[in-house]
Amino acid sequence: MTFSSLKRDSASAFEKLTKELEKVASGDKGSNRDDNLWKPEMDKSGNGYAVIRFLPAPDGEDIPWAKIFSHAFQGPGGWYIENSLTTIGKSDPVGDMNRELWNSGSDRDKETARKQKRKLSYYSNIYVVQDPLHPENEGKVFLYKYGKKIHDKIVEAMQPAFADETPINPFDFWKGANFKLKIRKLDGYWNYDKSEFDSPSTLGGFDDTQLESIYKSQNSLAELAAADKFKTYEELEKRMNTVLNSKKTPRIDPETAEDEMFEAPKFNTSSGGFNDPDITGGNQVVPQMSAEESEDDAMSYFARLAEE
């Protein structure tokens, strides 16, 4: 889609996005971080704040987010941190094992399956409006990884629950709105409940020439979930067996573990997917998620396992 058609067709784009949300709701499947991946940080008081703007789908793509399922759990042989092949509609070794565990009838097996369940993450292009801790990020385009809580905020903006609220397309340059990301740490988890969209406005008050420059600087989202970015079933199965069967437990430095828990996995172009840089050896620490994100689609996922 050209930039001129993007502005002309903003209304139809909103309608298309709404239909995509309906597909998502119905269960349709479809530091060490990457330089293009932005993440918020906590200040000394234990709070996080930033203002970002979700951007429209990149040129040639239809949806302004990518959905990626992953598994992250620890075994005797270390951490298993891998993207799931179910993202691209294929069987995944952890999913197959979890299905057997869930259907075994054992409460212990079900608990193991819960700990190894897949987690859903979204990726979108964003424009950083304010980043108090890292002002050098302001005015730049990044990929942003987020979970169910923030995605629910997007859905609520597009499909408000009350009649006196006007739906908006958060991904629209002209009629969208900045997102005020407010993070607190509650019970050891990042909490996003106070995050909210501002009033609709043109991004930055920029003219179309400036907005087009931002539009053309986006990262491909379709590429993130391309089939060639995933490891094969055999490669994942080998890693899974190593993690679950080895008796060697990796050492985690307690002085750096807390910081590493909040690091986003680095995109590995050789092996595919967003993985820990030391996934084949060395210290491996699972990225911490919010309480809401860690329970993404647990009940529906395991309900499906029981039915199969």
Under the banding of pLDDT at 50, 70 and 90, the label for residue 14 is confident
- In this prediction, residues 31-36 reach a mean pLDDT of 54
Q: What is the pLDDT of residues 85-135, one digit of tens each?
A: 999 999 999 999 999 999 999 999 999 999 999 999 999 999 999 999 999
Q: What is the pLDDT of residues 226-239, one digit of tens each?
A: 999 999 999 999 99
* Residue 51 host element (H or E): strand 47-54
Q: Note the pLDDT of residue 187.
A: 85
Q: What is the pLDDT of residues 259-283, one digit of tens each?
A: 333 333 444 444 444 443 222 223 3
Query: How far is it, in rounded angstroms, from Cα 184 to Cα 189?
Result: 8
Domain count, the chain: 1
Q: Note the pLDDT of residue 19.
A: 66
Which residue type, as a one-letter code, is found at position 85?
L
For 63, the domain range is 3-307
DSSP 8-state symbol, 57: P
Q: How many degrees, rounded to 5, is the angle at CA 198 between CA 152 and CA 13? A: 60
Domain holding 16: CATH number?
Answer: 3.90.198.10
Q: Which residues contact 107 (CB under 8 A, 6 or more apart)?
A: none
Q: What is the pLDDT of residues 146-205, one digit of tens each?
A: 999 999 999 999 999 999 999 999 999 999 999 999 999 888 889 999 999 999 999 999
DSSP 8-state symbol, 238: H
Q: Residue 289 has which token pair?
A: 């998620």
Inform me whether the pLDDT recorded for 11 exceeds 80: no
Q: Decide the pairing of beta strands 179-186 and 141-146.
A: unpaired
Query: How far is it, in rounded angstroms, from Cα 145 to Cα 167?
Result: 24
Q: Which residues contact 307 (CB under 8 A, 6 or more apart)?
A: none
Cβ 148 vs Cβ 120: under 8 Å: yes
Q: Note the pLDDT of residue 5.
A: 75
Inform me whether the pLDDT recorded for 41 exceeds 70: yes
CA dihedral 132, 135, 137, 138 (to 10 degrees): 90
pTM exceeds 0.85: no
Q: Note the pLDDT of residue 278.
A: 27
Q: Note the pLDDT of residue 82.
A: 97
